[in-house]
A = this chain, B = another copy of it.
C-alpha cells in the first residue's frame, strides 16, 4: 500500500475513528450534541494529514502524530464554528451551522470547548518537544484570531492593499497549515533545518490554497465546488481578485460594477448575470491569469522547500498531498 492516495485514505480513517471516540460524554447535552454534530460532519482532515506527513518525512511514525492530528482538527473546527457566527452563515458542508441549528450561545460554547479538547489531545504525547509543540499550537490560535479580525476589518475598509491581503491570509488560512507542519516535524524529531523547510513548504501551500479558493469562487463548477459561485462577491469579501480589479480596472462602466461589489451593493436581482459580468471583467483585465500566476508562484516556492528533503516515499506523499490540495474541487 505505497500508493499515496491509499495511504491518505487509511490515515484519514484512523483520524476519523479517533475523533469519533474523542467524545464519550453526553451531558450537558447543549454542549456535547453540537460537538458530536460538528466533529462527525466530514471534511478532508487536511490539517491532521499535514501533521502526519510532516512527522513522517522528518523520520517519525504516523502513530506518534495521530493525537496531534485530532487536536488540530478540533482547533480547525473551533474556527469554523465561531467564524460561521461572525459571517452569519446558514450552512457548512451542506448542513446547518451550529448557531443556526441551536443558537449563538451554544455555538460560542462549542467553539470554546473545542479549544480545550484540542489541547487535551495535543499533550497526549511523550515527545521531548512538548513545550515547542504547545508553543506552536498557541501561536497558531493567536494568529488565526488576528487573521479573522483583519478579515472582518477589511470587509468594512475601502482601500486594502495586496500586501495587507497576503498578510491577512497568511494568518487566517496559511497559519493553520504551517502550525500543523511544525508540530508534525517536532513530533518526528526533525532537525531545526527540517522544521524550517517543512514550515515554509506548508505556509506557501497555504497561500496558494487561499488564492485558489478566491479564484474558485468565480471559476468553479458549482456541483464540484459544493457551494454557490460568487459567494465572496455577495459578501463583498476582499479577495485577491477583487483587490487586483480595484487596482487594474480603468473603464468607467466596469469600475462601477466592481464598486458595487466593494460597497456590498451587488443587487440580488439578476444575481447570476451580475456575477457573470464580474467574471467577464476579471477575464478582460487578466485578473484570472494574475491569480493563477500567484498560485503557481507559491506552489513552486512550496516545491522548492519540499525538495530540500531526499527522495523517498514520504516526500512522494507530500507531493501527492499538495497536488491534491491544489487540484481540488472541494
A162 on the B face (CB < 8 A): no
- Say whether A120 contacts B142, CB under 8 Å: yes
A138 on the B face (CB < 8 A): yes
Contact partner of A120 (CB less than 8 A), chosen from B28, B104, B130, B138, is B138
CA distance A108 to B78 in the complex (A): 12
A274 on the B face (CB < 8 A): no
A219 on the B face (CB < 8 A): no
CB-CB under 8 A from A29, the residues of chain B are 153
A117 on the B face (CB < 8 A): yes
Which of A86, A145, A148, A150 has the most CB atoms of chain B within a 10 A radius of its CB?
A145
A111 on the B face (CB < 8 A): yes
- Say whether A113 contacts B86, CB under 8 Å: no
CA distance A78 to B31 in the complex (A): 18
Count of identical protomers in the assembly: 2
A148 CB → nearest B CB, Å: 6
CB-CB under 8 A from A263, the residues of chain B are none
A103 CB → nearest B CB, Å: 10
CA distance A134 to B109 in the complex (A): 20
CA distance A149 to B28 in the complex (A): 6
- Say whether B152 contacts A113, CB under 8 Å: no
A112 on the B face (CB < 8 A): yes
- Say whether B135 contacts A123, CB under 8 Å: yes
A85 on the B face (CB < 8 A): yes
A-B contact pairs, 23 of them (CB 8 A): A28-B153, A29-B153, A30-B152, A31-B146, A82-B108, A82-B109, A85-B104, A86-B105, A86-B108, A86-B109, A104-B104, A109-B145, A109-B148, A111-B112, A113-B146, A115-B141, A116-B141, A116-B145, A117-B142, A119-B141, A120-B139, A123-B134, A134-B134
* Residues of chain A at the chain B interface (Cβ within 8 Å): 28-31, 78, 82, 85-86, 104-105, 108-109, 111-113, 115-117, 119-120, 123, 130-131, 134-135, 137-139, 141-142, 145-146, 148-150, 152-153
